[in-house]
């Protein structure tokens, strides 16, 4: 009887003892190079079947290229920085927030993160070997290695010199549990139930006249700085009881119906006529921020699909609000600290968590008799991709790659790439065409330190592109690089800004940061011949690689792309380590064997 376990172990032992993989490589060493770059999985735990399927697809492509005589460079890689590892280590150490990391000590936390990643690199290597995958296990590229970090620093230096990197204030998604910003492509959407309220803003110097505004984020009313209307929409002033309500003409019937009220239109005006209308904050006596709040115009962010046609605006808590605020000189007021709690400027709400404060805000609105309707709404809402906390939007100072400056080049390069399946090209192009500037800074610990030194005295900036520029340092991680000071031309010392890089920037440098010194000078290794990853990487690795490649070589770092589908559970949901909805790979291999698993996976259409 065929015993797959015994036979597969015998073959694996034979390969290892006789160094078969090395002999195949040696046989092709003088032939044409085929450069395969392995998209690095996170070293956060044992692999699940989807990761195994991914590697067997890659292995099949590389085996074919070896079979036709190519000198295949197939170095296995591991992603080891960022929140995926930090969150796991925090759980192991019983840590709940950043303060506790500081108390433990950054150095100790970094060591624990490195130890955790190293442990799982060893485990995952063994699992990939058991699948019969032939890659360079003795020489993996690991994103926490100094050589990899140094190569990534060089990319950033090039971005700085090409004026493709800047510091700026923007409203960004923010996780108050992890206490850091997120990039737009990191957002994980899930359903949330939030309040849906209609409220009255009293028009200044008008008897009983009110702007009728709708919002699903009552807590942001604390930071209200304006109301947006559409310049060419028709607005009506409706007499409801003893009051005059201002709202869009097309939303009047809806509003009166849900309230069971009747009204008489006393005037009709264009949105442009409402510009500059001053109003009172509904609970100014409860907060400390005083401001001359007015109606402003926006033809891009005011719609008639829902609400009242008047949009509450908090430039410190909404990307669209921020843009309008800039346009009309309204400051992005954001009275929220790094833990998602209101600050002193929020008055009676000081110290309260922002999302939990919505109910308190609603109570104040009731007390002020300005809440005219209350309901709840279920909608798609962004969550932290690692800890699943609902995100908020905050105005913060961050560092960005200027995607807007290289977007046309990215779109040109998309046309040159060989896409499999072909339909993925348009999906990716659509994503890139709408992508904002790339926020690369994170307020965390375990990651590539941003190589930016700044003088507090004269605010001069130096971006380091090579470790030799800062002298001897234990390793290129926090807290060691934080201790390095650089002489400033003003006579003072420059200090490194404390942020680390977005972990997607790490893998975005994999094509060149994985090369050794000799290989990095080889023109044929500036581009990988093919990359192979799942469809979730449209917003991830495919994007970060392309953006980084344009900075580095002014071209796409990959010539061909093969996208595969998802390995799903019995409900059709993507199997995921973070969700825990996967069958352990060992279970499958024990029952069916690696050959059975490989054959079954490779019998499907790859992108389904």
Q: CA angle, 401 as apex, 510 and 433 as ends, to 5°?
A: 90
Q: Which two tokens stand for residue 557?
A: 């770092």
Outline where DSSP puts E strands in 176-309: 180-181, 188-202, 209-215, 226-229, 234-240, 243-248, 264-270, 294-297
Of the listed 134, 438, 453, 541, which one is catalytic? 541
Of the listed 38, 40, 437, 446, which one is catalytic? 40
- Reported as type and span, the H/E element at residue 543 is helix 541-553
State the Cα–Cα distance between residues 204 and 293, nearest whole angstrom: 10
Of the listed 53, 65, 75, 79, which one is catalytic? 79
Of the listed 231, 492, 574, 595, which one is catalytic? 574
Match 């003795």 to its residue by tokens: 138
State the Cα–Cα distance between residues 307 and 61, nearest whole angstrom: 53
Residue 111 appears among annotated catalytic residues: no
Q: What are phi and psi of 573, to 5 degrees?
A: -85, 145
Of the listed 504, 506, 512, 557, which one is catalytic? 504
Of the listed 200, 506, 537, 557, which one is catalytic? 537
Q: Report the candidate in 224, 63, 51, 208 with the shortest Cα–Cα distance to residue 135.
A: 63
Residue 75 appears among annotated catalytic residues: no
Q: How far is CA 390 from CA 176, 296, 309, 340, in A?
A: 9, 29, 27, 11
Half-sphere exposure (CA, 13 Å, Cβ side) for 185?
Answer: 23
Residue 378 appears among annotated catalytic residues: no
Beta strand 294-297 with 226-229 is parallel
Residues 6+ apart with CB under 8 A from 156: 165, 450, 451, 463, 465, 501
Residue 577 appears among annotated catalytic residues: yes
Residue 40 appears among annotated catalytic residues: yes
Catalytic center residues: 40, 79, 504, 537, 541, 574, 577
């Amino acid at each position: 009887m065929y015993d797959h376990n015994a036979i597969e172990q015998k073959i694996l032992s034979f390969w290892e003892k006789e160094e078969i993989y090395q002999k195949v490589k040696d046989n092709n060493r003088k032939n044409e190079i085929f450069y395969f770059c392995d998209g690095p999985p996170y070293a956060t735990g044992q692999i699940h079947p989807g990761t195994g399927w991914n590697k067997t697809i890659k292995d099949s492509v590389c085996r074919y290229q070896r079979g036709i005589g190519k000198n295949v460079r197939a170095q296995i890689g591991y992603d080891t920085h960022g929140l995926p590892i930090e969150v796991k280590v925090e759980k192991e150490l019983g840590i709940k927030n950043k303060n506790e990391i500081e108390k433990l000590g950054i150095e100790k936390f970094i060591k624990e993160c490195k130890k955790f990643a190293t442990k799982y690199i060893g485990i995952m290597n063994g699992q990939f070997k058991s699948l019969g995958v032939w890659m360079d296990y003795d020489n993996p590229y690991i994103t926490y290695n100094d050589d990899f970090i140094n190569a990534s620093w060089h990319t950033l230096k090039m971005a700085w010199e090409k004026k493709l990197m800047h510091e700026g204030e923007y409203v960004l998604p923010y996780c108050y549990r992890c206490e850091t910003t997120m990039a737009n492509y990191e957002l994980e959407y899930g359903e949330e139930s939030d309040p849906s309220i209609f409220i009255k803003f009293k028009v200044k110097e008008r008897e009983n006249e009110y702007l009728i505004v709708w919002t699903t984020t009552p807590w942001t009313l604390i930071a209200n700085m304006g109301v947006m209307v559409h310049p060419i929409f028709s607005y009506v002033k409706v007499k409801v009881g003893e009051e005059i309500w201002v709202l869009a003409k097309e939303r009047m019937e809806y509003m009166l119906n849900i309230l069971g009220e009747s009204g008489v239109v006393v005037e009709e005006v264009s949105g442009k006529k409402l510009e500059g209308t001053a109003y009172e904050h509904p609970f100014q006596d409860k907060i400390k921020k005083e401001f001359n709040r007015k109606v402003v115009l926006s033809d891009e962010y005011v719609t008639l699909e829902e609400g009242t046609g008047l949009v509450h605006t908090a430039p410190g808590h909404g990307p669209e609000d921020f843009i309008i605020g800039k346009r009309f000189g309204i400051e992005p007021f954001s009275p929220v600290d790094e833990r998602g709690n209101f600050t002193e400027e929020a008055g009676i709400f000081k110290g309260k968590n922002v999302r939990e404060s919505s109910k308190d805000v609603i109570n104040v609105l009731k007390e002020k008799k300005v809440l005219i309707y209350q309901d709840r709404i279920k909608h798609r809402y962004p969550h932290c991709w690692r800890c699943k906390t609902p995100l908020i939007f905050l105005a913060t100072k961050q560092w960005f790659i200027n995607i807007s400056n290289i977007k046309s080049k990215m779109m040109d390069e998309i046309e040159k790439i060989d896409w499999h399946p072909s339909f993925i090209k348009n999906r990716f192009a659509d994503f890139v065409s709408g992508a904002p500037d790339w926020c690369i800074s994170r307020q965390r610990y375990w990651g590539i330190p941003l190589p930016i030194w700044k003088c507090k005295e004269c605010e001069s900036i130096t971006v380091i592109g090579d470790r030799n520029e800062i002298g001897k340092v234990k390793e290129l991680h926090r807290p060691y690089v934080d201790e390095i000071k650089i002489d400033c031309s003003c006579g003072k010392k420059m200090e490194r800004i404390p942020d680390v890089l977005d972990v997607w920037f790490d893998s975005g440098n994999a094509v060149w940061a994985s090369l050794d010194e000799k290989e990095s000078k080889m023109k044929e290794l500036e581009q990988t011949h093919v990359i192979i990853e799942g469809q979730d990487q449209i917003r991830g690795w495919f994007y970060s690689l392309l953006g980084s490649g344009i900075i580095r070589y002014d071209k796409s770092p990959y010539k061909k792309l093969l996208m595969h589908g998802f390995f799903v559970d019995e409900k059709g949901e993507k199997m995921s380590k973070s969700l825990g909805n996967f069958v352990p790979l060992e279970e499958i291999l024990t029952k069916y064997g690696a050959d059975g698993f490989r054959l079954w996976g490779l019998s499907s259409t790859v992108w389904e």
